[in-house]
Chain A
Amino acid sequence: MTEVWMYFFGLLILISGLTLIFTENLIYAAFLLALCLLSIAGFYVIYNGSFLAVIQILIYAGGILILIAFGIMLTKRSSEGKVIVGSHLLFFGFLVTLGIALLIYALVGSSPIGPQEILQTTGQIREIGIRFLTQYILAFELIAFLLLVVLVGASYLGKKSQHA
């Protein structure tokens, strides 16, 4: 049953990713990104990452996506109905992507990854909380500091400047 869900979410990620490449409407792109992020959250649950799945739904699908939708609405000229985004550098882009895909394929193929069992542990949140306040305390505090800096910086950048 787990495998069925794994392939289901994998297929959803594939479909939304491919549609995201070929769509030209920016609003559709935002909602396809929502579908992609939610199916990634489902994918995390299968790989024993249920806490990260919740975080993904809260922060990505709830926060970043709203922010992107705001960005689209605020940077749209009222004369145009739809926001149509064209493409450029098509040949170069597909070439680079193909190169990187082949590189990753070669790396994964040559790495000594054997078939391993996916664990399903419980009590993850307790484990994560203990680790954040002991082993990763420096990174945790630095992240808090970074968030403060981002809060101040974004509100400064977002305000209308007087001399512009």
Chain B
Amino acid sequence: MLDPIIFGLMIGAFLFCTGILIVIIKKNAIFVMIGIELMLNGANVNLVVFSGSDPNIQGQLMGIFVVVLAAAESVVALAIMLNIFRHFQTLDLNSLKKLKH
């Protein structure tokens, strides 16, 4: 039986590593964004696990800010991706090399 704090930290570390791996190896921009969401969730799991034994729930308050920032980030990222797709007709990261209009 693992200590619940250590188990939560392990889950958070797993989510963060999964996110980094997806960001590095996947070729599609939307898949990379899924990886970024996983990394943010890994950080959030850490915050919540530490706030589980804190009567002031400071970590949970920080986690709410993280969720709002993640939502804002993904909205802007998807708007930019739509523009890129309209211009280049692809979201393959290896073929997006030109900065020229």
Contact = CB atoms under 8 A, between A and B. Distances in A.
Interface of A: 3, 6-7, 10, 13-14, 17-18, 20-21, 26, 29-30, 33, 36-37, 40, 43-44, 46-49, 51-52, 55-56, 59-60, 63-64, 67-68, 70-72, 74-75, 77, 83, 85-90, 92-94, 96-97, 100-101, 104-105, 108, 113, 115-119, 121, 124, 127-128, 131-132, 136, 139, 143, 146-147, 150, 153-154, 157-158, 160-161, 164
A49 B80 contact: no
A86 B95 CA distance: 13
A44 B53 CA distance: 13
Q: Is the interface of A mostly helix, strand, loop or mixed?
A: helix
Interface of B: 1, 3-11, 13-18, 20-22, 24-28, 30-31, 33-34, 37-38, 41, 44-45, 48-49, 51-57, 60-61, 63-65, 67-72, 74-76, 78-83, 85-87, 89, 91, 94
A4 to B, nearest CB: 11
Contacts of B28: 26, 83, 85
B17 A101 contact: yes
A72 B31 CA distance: 9
A158 B82 contact: yes
A153 B83 CA distance: 13
Given A68-B74, A94-B21, A10 B11 contact: yes
Interface-centre pick from B5, B67, B75 (highest chain A CB count, 10 A): B75
A4 B31 CA distance: 32
Contacts of A18: 18
B17 A52 contact: no
Nearest to A88: B27
Pairs of residues from A and B, 8 with the lowest C-beta to C-beta distance, nearest first: A93-B24, A47-B52, A157-B79, A93-B25, A116-B53, A85-B28, A75-B85, A17-B18
A75 B38 CA distance: 21
A52 B44 CA distance: 10
Given A64-B74, A90-B25, A101-B13, A37 B41 contact: yes
